[in-house]
Amino acid sequence: MPELPEVETMRRGILGIVGSRITDIAWPRCSKKPIAVRPTKARFRARAVGQEIAAVDRIGKRVVVRLGSGDAIIFEPRMTGLVLVSDAPSTEHLRFRMDLAGSPIASVWYWDRRGLGNVRLLRPAEQEHELGSSKLGPDALAITPEILRLHLGASRRDIKVALLDQKQIAGVGNLYASEILHAAGVHPAQRCDLLHRGQWERIHAALVEILETAIRYEGSTLSDGTYRNALNKSGGYQNEHRVYARAGQRCARCRSATIVRIVQAQRATFYCPGCQKK
């Protein structure tokens, strides 16, 4: 589930490690489905231990720990992954530990209940090949209305489906796409190439406002309780959702129509037929 707001919250939660040095890398014993790790664990440890942490960034839905060597440790949470500094939700789903010296944070952990995420150590050329502009679009918080329209405006896809395409815009996922389109007053099944300039401007404004607000609330913890911040605390933006997972409830915006659930590209979409007319 983690989308841009949740991953940005993870990034901010471990910013205190910048300037510290890695003293150990370990993979706790885990009987669950193994996560993908690259390179081999032995090579990963040999290249990372002793390195200074130069920066902690985010690329789309990934936390990027940059090392002094130019290598970067990439945490990709996918559906249920978490980057933590303490109090893991459970010990049996801990997958990775990075011990540190010279930091107020003693260790960074990667926890993943379903094991769908991955942890990679990439050289600079690998970073560009796998996470560069040929693979990922511009970050959702770094685009203008013109860039948004340039990347999606010629598509014949539904706007909700197009917003999920990470090769065009990086960071937006299923939950926030529904919320963005509701705030913009745009029907999720409207074709991109039929949207006019004013609608693109409204979508962009809603995108920025909702993602930035969700970051301030430290993301959304849904009913399954999986997502947590770096301190294993719930996010708060789930209490601000207007349409997501609210099918059958009255719209809080128009206060007359009822929220509807449809399926687009095998993903659930929620919208208000009163506020979001096609």
How many Å apart are CA 226 and CA 221, to the nearest integer? 7
How many Å apart are CA 182 and CA 276, to the nearest integer? 7
Note if 267 is an active site residue: yes
Note if 209 is an active site residue: no
Q: Which of 47, 58, 61, 246 is catalytic?
A: 61
Q: Which of 38, 45, 78, 267 is catalytic?
A: 267
The separation between CA 259 and the C-alpha centre of its own chain, rounded to angstroms, equals 25
Note if 39 is an active site residue: no
How many Å apart are CA 52 and CA 20, to the nearest integer? 6
How many Å apart are CA 61 and CA 73, to the nearest integer? 14
How many Å apart are CA 176 and CA 35, to the nearest integer? 26
Note if 3 is an active site residue: yes
Burial class (CB in 10 A: 0-12, 13-18, 19+), 142: exposed
137 phi/psi in degrees, rounded to 5:
-75, 180
Question: Length of the chain, please?
Answer: 278
Neighbour tally for 259: CB within 10 Å: 23
Strands (E), the chain: 21-26, 36-38, 53-59, 62-67, 72-76, 81-84, 94-101, 107-112, 118-122, 260-264, 267-271
**Both tokens assigned to 156:** 């014949």
- Read off the amino acid at residue 18: V
Give the residue numbers annotated as catalytic, written as ranges: 2-3, 61, 267
